[in-house]
Chains A and B, each alone.
Chain A
C-alpha cells in the first residue's frame, strides 16, 4: 500500500528566510507526487506535481520540489517565505495504475511565518 510521511508537524520560519518541507513516500514504483496547500477557510490548492522527467519541478507561488528516487523523497522548497505562505501543506501520492486518480495524503505540516 502507498503511504506518505511528513515528519514535521509544525515549522516556524521568519519572513524572507528559506523553507524546506519534507515528504517521504512508500510505493512499489515511482508514484505520481503532489504538494497541496490549505489555508484557513480555503479549499486545498495544488502547488505542483511530478509525473516523470525533470526531477526538479516548479510550481505556483514561487515553490519548487525535488524528486529523489534514492531517498523516496519529494521535498518542497521556497527560497524566500512571505507572511502569506502561512498555511498547512500536504504532500500526496497517487497510483500510476488503475483508473482513479485518488490521492493518499500525508498528515501535513503547519507553517508559521514570523515577521
Chain B
C-alpha cells in the first residue's frame, strides 16, 4: 500500500515569507509526527498528533511554527515569517495507535530559505 507522502518535495522561499508543508499519512494511522532534520544532524521532534489534536507540541521552536490536522488524516505544518535558520528537511511520520508502534517516515520536504 501507499506509504507516507509529503508535498512538496522541495520548497525554496525568501526570508519573511509564509510556507505550508503537507503530510499524507498512511491510511488508518491515528498518530502523526513532525520532525526537522538540519544538515548533518539527526531528526528533531517538533509535534505529535493523536487524531485531530496536538498531543505534544513541545518541540516547536517558536510561535512562528504551527501545525494542524483538522480531520485526523492529512496534516499541514505552517511556518510564518521564515528565517534562513528554518532551512532543513521536514519529516513526517505516522503510526497506528498504541505506544511505540513503528513510525513510518515520509521522504521529507527540503525547505530552503534564501
- The yes or no answer to A17 lying at the interface (CB within 8 A) is no
| Contact among B3, B100, B104 for A101, CB-based, below 8 A | B100
Main secondary structure of the interface of A (DSSP, over half): loop
- The yes or no answer to B20 lying at the interface (CB within 8 A) is no
| A104–B45 touching, CB < 8 Å | yes
- The yes or no answer to B33 lying at the interface (CB within 8 A) is yes
- B-side interface residues, number (CB < 8 Å): 29
Number of A-B contacts (CB under 8 A): 63
- The yes or no answer to A67 lying at the interface (CB within 8 A) is no
- The yes or no answer to B105 lying at the interface (CB within 8 A) is yes
Would A49 and B100 be within 8 Å (CB), given that A43-B105, A44-B43, A102-B48 are in contact?
A: yes
Closest A residue to B102 using CB positions: A46
B82 to chain A, nearest CB (A): 24
- The yes or no answer to A84 lying at the interface (CB within 8 A) is no
- The yes or no answer to B85 lying at the interface (CB within 8 A) is no
B59 to chain A, nearest CB (A): 7
A22 to chain B, nearest CB (A): 14
Mark contacts of A86-99 with chain B using CB atoms, 8 A cut-off: 1 yes-contact digit, 0 otherwise: 00001010100011
**Residues of B near any A CB (own CB < 8 A):** 3-4, 31, 33, 35, 40-45, 48, 50, 55-56, 59, 91, 93, 95, 99-108
Given contacts A43-B91, A99-B50, 19 further A-B contacts (CB under 8 A): A43-B104, A43-B108, A44-B43, A45-B105, A46-B103, A49-B100, A90-B43, A99-B55, A99-B56, A99-B99, A101-B33, A101-B48, A101-B99, A101-B100, A102-B45, A105-B42, A105-B44, A107-B42, A108-B40
